[in-house]
Amino acid sequence: MKITLIQQNLIWERRSENLQGFERVLPLIPSGTDLVILPELFTTGFTMNAASNSEAPFSETFQWMARISAEYCFAMCGSYIVEENSLFFNRWVFVTPENSWWSYDKRHLFGPGGEDKIFTRGSERLVLGYSGVRISASVCYDLRFPVWIRNRNEYDLLINSANWPESRRDVWITLLKARAIENQCYVAGVNRVGTDGKGIKYCGDSVIINPRGEITAMAGKNKECLVTGEISMAELSDFRLQFPAGKDADNFTLHP
């Protein structure tokens, strides 16, 4: 599978302008790309003004993703603010050219930023199958909670869409590597750049990491760019056979 990460500056609370910004770079995506990954809250930035920036589950942003996916023949994913039953969700959505879709509501809401006071946390993990790859979703702060993310031969690729501040840059890279190593999977982490409406800076560092914890593709710091890399299910299978650490993992039951 060929994956392209879009590392972009996000204009604070300006949905249409952000969608236009992503659309401008779509023609630069390498041919043969199977999956395009966008950051967390890619239409607004990490705002807590959910009431004025939310949308219904299948409205503007969903329709935009579906249109782009069909037009360019690649799957697309990322999170944005959804209001459903008078509740707000940081909802990660995955759409395909075949008109299939899945969603995941961010489980671990960022308390220090007040996210837990505004949004409703998700209760279910997501594993989906696309183009021969089993994919699991996580959003930003989820990355700090390995029990929730633990892979028991359920998925091959872990995606994290994030708004991860520059002040915790080393933590971002360290946790992405750790999740790849302990779960024996590929990890794709997509972060934004620029400064948000609260003055918080983001430097990007969007990255693809292999099951050994090695960086195979990485974006530049503080620059808008595309990062493309390939993941191999054959190589992943061989690695798991040669070093079957998962067989020795502790069993547990997760109670969401």
Alpha helices in 80-204 (DSSP H): 115-118, 146-149, 169-183
Tell me if 89 sits within 8 A of 106, measured CB to CB. Answer: yes
140 given a catalytic annotation: yes
For the chain, give percent helix, strand, coil, nearest 5.
Answer: 30, 30, 40
Active site residue 40: yes
The catalytic position among 40, 115, 185, 203 is 40
- What distance in Å separates the CA atoms of residue 212 and residue 198, rounded to the nearest whole number? 37
Among residues 13, 77, 115, 140, which one is catalytic? 140
Exposed/middle/buried for residue 96 (C-beta within 10 Å: 0-12, 13-18, 19+): buried
Q: Which of 106, 115, 177, 185 is catalytic?
A: 106
- 73 catalytic residue (yes or no): no
Radius of gyration of the chain (CA): 17
Catalytic machinery residues: 40, 106, 140
